[in-house]
A and B are shown apart, each in its own frame.
Chain A
Amino acid sequence: MTKRTNAKLDSEHFSLSSIFRSQVFFLIMIMVVIGVIVTLINPRFLSVRNLFNIVLSVSTIGIVCVGMGTVLISGNFDLTLGPMISILGIVMALMISRFSIGLTLIAVVALGALIGAFNGVLVTRVRAHSFIVTLALSVVYEGVALLLAGGTYISLEGRFRIFAERAWGVIPAPTLVFVAVIIGAFIVYRFTKFGRLLFAIGGNEKAAYLGGVKVRLYKVLAFSLAGGLYGIGAIVLISQLGVVYPSTGFGYTLPALAAIAVGGIALSGGKGSALGIFLGAVLFGLISNALVLTGVDPFWRNVAAGFLILFAVGVSGIVEQ
């Protein structure tokens, strides 16, 4: 009897300490700390509008983070993210003046998935690290974006501005998509065989292969899913902006990678959660919002934001150990 209670205590102790050691708990703590400090300096921080602004500011990057994160979980990098957003945004702008909105949106997402699948096929066939393969592809896609747009910007001319609006005047439309994508990712990661096998491949590719997992197929599917999500991200972003430059998406790749890393997705694969990606992205928005509200000099914001991210990653590494 005593033995039983001991075992029970042990397992409770284990789960409790694992909560404290989890990245998610740690991220929430950092957010609370930053939130409290900023609120003391500037009470406007806690207003509903401002909180929604924070989530809005990271909605696009959050959506594409799920794509890149899914690839990362399966043990690969995908650095084509930024240029793909540009290409897909340009295609959307070009199509929307000629075709119906519905067809345009479907085509953009489908094209994203197709390019993603192509990336995946190359990564699984070329005997080089996915980091290099997708880096090379991203250079190609930057060129393609410039070619498609003819080197200049394309305007939506006022069409399809739905993502510049707020539902019930409060909740920004992009945020709804972001949250939906996160919930989708949560379901895929937790409850589907597809998700589980991606984690298995990232966790130990050889073991997965010897366990009969169609490793190549699943990797291609992960890239394809990511491409589709870049499509959704591009739609949300360009609809908000109303105009697309060839370079619009270029700057998204590395911040997305950083947000994912902060969110606890292991760069070596096999580890991560939808909630982690959500919090990683939101922490990004929170930091830049906090720096604005506390009146930090704009030139210093990047410096401060960079160090805060480094701090977050560094401390969470220690916490995990």
Chain B
Amino acid sequence: MEQLGEKRILAMRGICKFYPGVKALEDVDFDLYRGEVHSLVGKNGAGKSTLIEILAGSVKADRGEMEIFGKKFDYLTPVESLNLGIGTIHQVDQLIEGMSVAENVLIDNLKTNRAGFYSLKNCIESTKKILDFIDVYIDPRRMVSTLSPVERKILCIARAFSQEVKILILDEPTASLDKEVEDKLFNVIKSIKQKGVGIIYISHNLGEIFELKDRVTVLRDGKKISTEYVEKIDEESLIAGMIGTKAKAYEKKYKKFNGKVKLKVDGYSAKGVLHDITFKLREGEIFGIGGLMGSGRTELLKMLFGAFNKDSGRLIYEGKDVTPKTPINAIKNGIGLLTEDKKSDGLMMEMPVYKNISLIELVKNGDFFLRLKKERNQARRMQSDLNIAVPSVGQIVKFLSGGNQQKVVLAKWLMANSKIILLDEPTVGIDVGAKEEIYNLINSLSREGKIFIIVSSDNQELISISDRIGIMKRGRMVKILEGGEITEENILKYSL
């Protein structure tokens, strides 16, 4: 490390940040060299966000100092941070839909012509230069609303580079991306890195960290656990560092299911969306659905729940036709849907946990008055059954971690006594430890007789929780993998 000494651009020492009742960061050291990718990993709540917020100037550290390009600071203001060349790419982009790529890149630095009027031509020229610099080509004239998710991410990076950036912070840039297009983003990152920019990379996906190399720092409960060169460690020890115990490798035992057929999905079709989707589930089976985004997976789940118009198709549960026409129908028939985006259509974020958990049960029962005491007690039981980590069920949902939010949604459907549970991307944005917990929950509920159909883009996840996996491609179920056929290669092969 000594020989790199002069190239060190950032050193944070003994950083502490306390919130009432929480030590968000405790005595954390972190440094960054020119042209390196330094990944930051840890469970949700480990302190990653706080650390980057301190760098971006939106949070002040309570103790500790920072040395940036040789200058010492106790804290930064957002403007100082920008002027030092620190750029942050947030997980959720803040692009303006109705504007072109060029205008978005130069939003705070729009170009004028000699007469002093705004000039789109000059904007396009400057944008081209910036895009060249980060080695990508996107037509600067295109509207942002026409960009693919990965192009949007790259655009955010380009926007950061409309000013001189020497330190780039990427907060879970691949969270909303399909696996197949991640390489595009990685190429951009690698090329920026070669230009000497130091990159702080936050991700839940450890595979990416091994691909992007250099160093990785593990945080846990606000403390730094380790900083290592990526070559010198393996995934297992990283996970162990994040969750504090040695992670047990998930062992898959394929069972043969000979029981009765419990559920039949029969000929679900909708013009231009789905073609004749048919499959069966036996008692105790968990059915996974793989495939690319846009292959019709989400639409299928919505149709099974009656929230998407279909042309034909029947759902047979224990020999009875339970095909729902509307969500209300579906709920009456014991079907539950956990959508991918909990914030937009799964939870009432501003409301307490117990009111979220009771919602569907409330809709189903015929009472006029609420039974507040019973409601809270039932929510508490769910809290302990599903191990939802909140001080009280009165806690507002938006303050919960992603994993706990997912458990609240699950609790809502269990409270409503759902027998068929449809899950769309059950663990997106959820940390490793909580993922494991959710898998265990699904397994034990399945043993209790609940039926699960699970859509996921994470192939590892599909493999570890499903007993059979249907692969969808352009609205058709092209293959159902079972037993020994279930491998990551096969899932990819049939998806593409």
Contacts and interface: CB of A to CB of B under 8 A. Distances in A.
Interface of A: 7, 10-11, 13-14, 17, 190-194, 196-197, 199-200, 203-204, 206-214, 266, 270-271
A199 B351 contact: yes
B345 A212 contact: no
Given A191-B370, A210-B305, A11 B391 contact: yes
A212 B347 contact: no
A interface, over-half SS: helix
B307 interface: yes
Interface of B: 20-21, 305, 307, 327-328, 330-332, 337, 339, 344-351, 355, 359-360, 362-364, 367-370, 372, 391-392, 412
Given A197-B363, A270-B348, A209 B327 contact: yes
Contacts of B305: 210
23 contacts: A10-B391, A13-B21, A14-B392, A17-B20, A190-B370, A193-B362, A193-B368, A196-B370, A199-B355, A200-B351, A200-B355, A204-B347, A206-B344, A206-B345, A210-B327, A211-B359, A211-B360, A211-B412, A212-B327, A212-B328, A212-B331, A212-B332, A214-B328
Which of A14, A207, A266, A271 has its CB near the most chain B CB atoms (within 10 A)? A207
Contacts, number: 85
B369 A192 contact: yes
Nearest to A17: B20
A211 B331 contact: yes
Contacts of A11: 391-392
A217 to B, nearest CB: 11
Contacts of A197: 362-363
Nearest to B341: A206
Nearest to A10: B21
Contacts of B327: 209-212
Given A193-B368, A203-B348, 17 more contacts: A13-B20, A14-B392, A192-B368, A193-B367, A197-B363, A203-B349, A204-B345, A204-B346, A207-B345, A207-B346, A207-B347, A208-B348, A208-B359, A210-B305, A211-B331, A212-B328, A270-B350
B329 to A, nearest CB: 9
Contacts of B328: 212, 214
A207 B397 CA distance: 14
Given A191-B372, A210-B327, A211-B331, A204 B349 contact: yes
A203 B349 CA distance: 7
Contacts of B367: 193
Nearest to A210: B327
A270 B345 contact: no
B351 A270 contact: yes
Closest 7 CB pairs of A and B: A203-B348, A206-B345, A212-B331, A204-B348, A212-B328, A212-B363, A211-B360
Contacts of A10: 21, 391
B351 A210 contact: no
B29 to A, nearest CB: 28
A10 B360 CA distance: 30
A271 B398 CA distance: 14
A206 B349 CA distance: 12
Nearest to A266: B350
B426 to A, nearest CB: 16
Contacts of A210: 305, 307, 327, 337, 339, 345-346
Nearest to A212: B331
Which of B339, B346, B359, B369 has its CB near the most chain A CB atoms (within 10 A)? B359
A14 B345 contact: no
B328 to A, nearest CB: 5
A212 B209 CA distance: 42
A212 B331 CA distance: 7
Contacts of A211: 327, 331, 359-360, 363, 412
A212 to B, nearest CB: 4
B86 to A, nearest CB: 25
Contacts of A266: 350
A245 B21 CA distance: 60
A10 B399 CA distance: 15
B311 to A, nearest CB: 22
B195 to A, nearest CB: 39
A14 B393 CA distance: 13
A199 B364 CA distance: 17
Contacts of B339: 210
A255 B346 CA distance: 35
Contact of A271 (B307, B346, B350): B350
A199 B370 CA distance: 13
B406 to A, nearest CB: 14
A17 B396 CA distance: 14
Nearest to B348: A203
Contacts of B412: 211
A270 B397 CA distance: 14
A210 B331 CA distance: 9
Contacts of B359: 200, 207-208, 211, 213
Contacts of B337: 210
Contacts of A194: 368
A264 to B, nearest CB: 12
B21 A212 contact: no
A74 to B, nearest CB: 13
A150 B391 CA distance: 63
Nearest to B328: A212
A200 B368 contact: no
Which of A13, A206, A210, A211 has its CB near the most chain B CB atoms (within 10 A)? A211
A210 B412 CA distance: 12
A266 B339 CA distance: 26
Given A197-B363, A212-B360, A212-B363, A192 B345 contact: no
A191 B367 CA distance: 11
Contacts of A199: 348, 351, 355
A213 B356 CA distance: 13
Given A211-B363, A212-B363, A203 B391 contact: no
A211 to B, nearest CB: 5
B264 to A, nearest CB: 23
A196 B370 CA distance: 8
A206 B362 CA distance: 17
Which of A11, A190, A200 has its CB near the most chain B CB atoms (within 10 A)? A200
A203 B356 CA distance: 10
A113 to B, nearest CB: 18
Contact of A207 (B331, B348, B372, B392): B348
A244 B351 CA distance: 43
A114 B351 CA distance: 31
Nearest to A11: B391
Given A204-B349, A210-B307, A214-B328, A14 B391 contact: yes
A193 B363 CA distance: 8
B374 to A, nearest CB: 13
Contacts of B330: 212
A315 B327 CA distance: 42
A212 B413 CA distance: 11
